Amino acid sequence: MGGNRIVVYKEPGVVAVEDHDMPTLEVPAEVAEAMGMTRKADHAVILRCVSTNICGSDQHMVRGRTTAPPGQTLGHEITGEVVEKGSDVQFVDVGDICSVPFNIACGRCRNCREGQTGVCLNVNPARAGSAYGYVDMGGWEGGQAEYVMVPFADFNLLRFPDREQALEKILDLTMLSDIFPTGYHGAYTAGVTTGSTVYVAGAGPVGLAAAHSAQLLGAAVVIVGDLNADRLTQARSFGCETVDISQDATLEDQIAQVLGTNEVDCAVDAVGFEATGHGAGGGEAPAAVLNSVMGVTRAGGRLGIPGLYVTGDPGAADPDAKEGTLKVRLGLGWAKSHSFTTGQCPVLRYNRNLMMSILYDKARIAEAVNATVIPLDDAPRGYQEFDRGAARKYVLDPHGMVPRAA
């Protein structure tokens, strides 16, 4: 049948754009069977993908650093136009343009009712929490595609109030599916407020989103650390201070050069398990960032940890790290009375307010992350350039709608 081009993981370092069947209003068989729900999804919609982004979390799979099998479809950052809806969808209509939280949530379970949509109990037989196009997340098809099915649409979708306004600001609004709320979640749970001094580890798109979010929350100084010179330049482009962790000068000393003290009020880990140790000879060290943010955060401070940590990493350097057991200095965090927030961002907690900040020109997230539009067929190139450290957030444009809007 065909009719839906979609990005697929083939082997470590290789993705391809393949022709798959069009999505239907059905949930994956493994979810329906395990969770006792019908496959027929009258609660779902089919979206024509207006924009869909490449994420650092996708890169972990593509590098072979997860248990993702060949053939895994990719893509959880989705903005789309409703082209078909089930009979039970009441509050979104064909033609509406909507942001799709990367968390798939039923809206009915205890966790969803408590606002913890990142750990929905009904959409993934393997564990709490699910996402489109991701390993161990329930088998939901990815959204780096021309079309995608979104379940429980009335609950999950954020409808943009005006179509033309949405298309004009689509490069900013496309970030609402993941990295803007995720970065904001990191800064918010770290306790960033008016006058805070903040350290953000990582100048990839989520780190840059966290830095921009810290500014929105009123931080006095935001310091971003990375070893990629181009990404540090991007952080400085919107007013951040930077530190280069590839230098032999300690992180504490570099922070002291900025602040006059070697501690910050709060910190965000936007790196995750593929972390690198400090200094010119620093190799991969999965607990390095967690330990460094504890080291530079004041006693009584808080740490936001939106960076991804996994329970299965075939490429890890040691057996413990292969199952997510890391050498974290918990005693240091305990001694300093730190508070930690980890896990998937519950996107629905933040996305509407961040949408309003975009629509009324209070947030310029596309500029902060250097949004770069490419056609869907160029996804393999985007993955390669992103993996080499390009200081860009790649936005895939399956239907040629984004350049016209931009």
Q: Which of 26, 160, 153 is nearest to 90 (CA)?
A: 153
What is residue 403's predicted lDDT score, i.e. its pLDDT?
Answer: 63
Domain 3-178+346-405 identical in fold to domain 179-342: no
At 282 the pLDDT is: 81
> What is the C-alpha to C-alpha distance for residues 26 and 33, in angstroms, rounded to an integer?
12
User: Which among 340, 348, 363 is positioned nearest to 190, based on CA atoms?
Assistant: 340
Sign of CA dihedral 86, 87, 93, 98: negative
CATH class of 3-178+346-405: alpha beta
Query: What local confidence, expressed as pLDDT, does residue 281 receive?
Result: 77
Distances in Å between the Cα of 4 and the Cα atoms of 39, 101, 135, 137, 141 are 20, 21, 20, 21, 11
Beta bridge partners of 173: none
- Nearest residue to 92 via CA among 39, 141, 156, 36: 156
> Alpha-carbon distance 402 to 406, whole Å?
6
The pLDDT value recorded for residue 120 is 98
- What tokens were used for 329? 């200095």
Q: How many CB atoms lie within 10 A of CB 253?
A: 12
pLDDT at 405 (0 to 100): 47
Q: Cite the beta strand spans of 54-96 per DSSP E.
A: 77-85
User: How far is it, in rounded angstroms, from Cα 131 to Cα 76?
Assistant: 6
**Encoding tokens for residue 92?**
């979104």
Q: Which CATH superfamily is domain 179-342 in?
A: NAD(P)-binding Rossmann-like Domain (3.40.50.720)
Query: Where are the domains positioned within the chain?
Result: 3-178+346-405, 179-342
Q: Do 321 and 286 contact (CB within 8 A), yes or no?
A: yes
The SS3 of residue 315 is coil
Per-residue pLDDT of the chain (406 residues; tens, 9 = 90+): 689 999 999 999 999 999 999 999 999 999 999 999 999 999 999 999 999 999 999 999 999 999 999 999 999 999 999 999 999 999 999 999 999 999 999 999 999 999 999 999 999 999 999 999 999 999 999 999 999 999 999 999 999 999 999 999 999 999 999 999 999 999 999 999 999 999 999 999 999 999 999 999 999 999 999 999 999 999 999 999 999 999 999 999 999 999 999 999 999 999 999 999 988 778 889 999 999 999 999 999 999 999 999 988 998 888 999 999 999 999 999 999 999 999 999 999 999 999 999 999 999 999 999 999 999 999 999 999 999 999 999 999 999 999 654 4
Q: Full-prediction pTM beyond 0.85?
A: yes
